[in-house]
A and B are shown apart, each in its own frame.
Chain A
Amino acid sequence: MEWIKIVKRWLKKIDLKMAVTYNFWLKLVALVIAVIVWYYVSGEITQGIQI
């Protein structure tokens, strides 16, 4: 299977440590904001359905 080879080759290229540590604080702040936004909007939607 050609696509499995491509995926394997792509996975080998990923440097997990670098992916996490590079711009770590920016990634963390973005995650926190994403969770807050999602929680806020999902709360709004749920309230809307209840009404």
Chain B
Amino acid sequence: MTSLVKILNWKSILEIIILWMVIYRIFLFLKGTKAVYLLRGIIVLVISLLAFQLLGLPVLTRILTYLFAFFLILVAIIFQPELREGLIRLGRRHIFHMEPQIEKMEQVLREIVSSVGVLSRKKIGGLIAIKREMGLRKYTESGVVLDADITSELVQNIFYPSAPLHDGGVIIEGSRIVAAACLFPLSDNPNIERTLGMRHRAAVGLSETADSVVIVVSEETGIISLAIEGQLTRRLSPNDLFTILKGQLTKT
């Protein structure tokens, strides 16, 4: 520990901060995907490697080093699509872009709320998840990928009862509808009203497992509800919904 303090200077602190940011970004990218189990495996391997080195066990250290190299090649092959997506995202990301695009977000929310209002009036069931920080790729993979601009008409069309994608939920990321007909995890919270169906349970379930905001429109009553962090708020008007969503999604 003392040797660590001795070699610390402004350059090393800068290096650690940059490393920290990169590792945190990788964690965020992997969170909510099946790759997180792989990450756990890598962490176990690294800890074992360090432990063997500290204990002075040269043969085990050497075997684990070989295994580690083999493992990394395996990872590159198995997770080639995820790695490709990550690199594409890295290229797209505006690293120094700090200001949230509030105006654009408001426009997106207006489209969502407008579609929810129509669904409510016509008593058409709807389930819409809006991604925040945590990745929803696991759920996107369970549905049909769309990657389309958000418009009120498109959302209504998706949930139209005889449409092929009306079952399941829609996932929204930024200003895009990423996927439709997605399967969300059901909540086993005993406090949810018995009268509420699977759609509401799915909304609460997703808001419990991810940090997403999930909108539900009841098929029977047309009531608009919103699930945030496992809490379901019911009987919202489109205006209330817009205000809450704006507050939730534009805060940093």
Q: Which residue of B lies closest to A31 (CB)?
A: B20
A18–B252 touching, CB < 8 Å = yes
B31 within 8 A of A: yes
Q: Is the CB–CB distance between A30 and B23 below 8 Å?
A: yes
Q: Which residues does B use to contact A, with CB under 8 Å?
A: 4, 7, 12, 15-16, 19-20, 23-24, 27-28, 31, 43, 50, 98-99, 133, 251-252
Residues of chain B contacted by A34 (CB below 8 angstroms): 16, 19-20, 23
Complex interface bits, A9-23 against B, C-beta within 8 A gives 1, otherwise 0: 010011100110011
Contacts of B99 in A (CB 8 A): 10, 13
Taking a contact as CB atoms under 8 Å apart, the answer to whether B133 and A35 are in contact is no
What's the Cα separation between A14 and B31 when bound, in Å?
24
A26-B24 in contact (CB<8A): yes
Complex Cα–Cα for A18 and B118 (A) = 35
Assess whether A30 is in contact with B4, with CB atoms less than 8 Å apart. no
The size of the chain A interface, using a CB distance under 8 A, is 22
Residue of A13, A27, A34 most packed against chain B (CB within 10 A): A34
On chain B, the residues within 8 Å of A36 by CB distance are: 50
Task: Determine the chain B residues whose CB is within 8 A of the CB of A40 once the complex forms.
Answer: 50
Chain A: minimal CB distance from B95 (Å): 15
Contact residue among A15, A26, A39 (Cβ-Cβ distance under 8 Å from B251): A15
Given A13-B252, A18-B252, decide whether A38 and B12 contact each other with a Cβ distance below 8 A. Answer: yes
B24 touches A27 (CB 8 A): yes
Q: Is the CB of B27 within 8 A of A10?
A: no
CA distance A26 to B99 in the complex (A): 23
C-alpha gap A18/B211 in the complex (Å): 14
Whether B252 lies near A42 (C-beta < 8 A) is no
**Further 12 A-B residue pairs, CB within 8 A, beyond A26-B24, A33-B23:** A10-B98, A13-B98, A13-B252, A14-B252, A18-B251, A18-B252, A31-B20, A34-B19, A38-B15, A39-B4, A40-B50, A42-B7
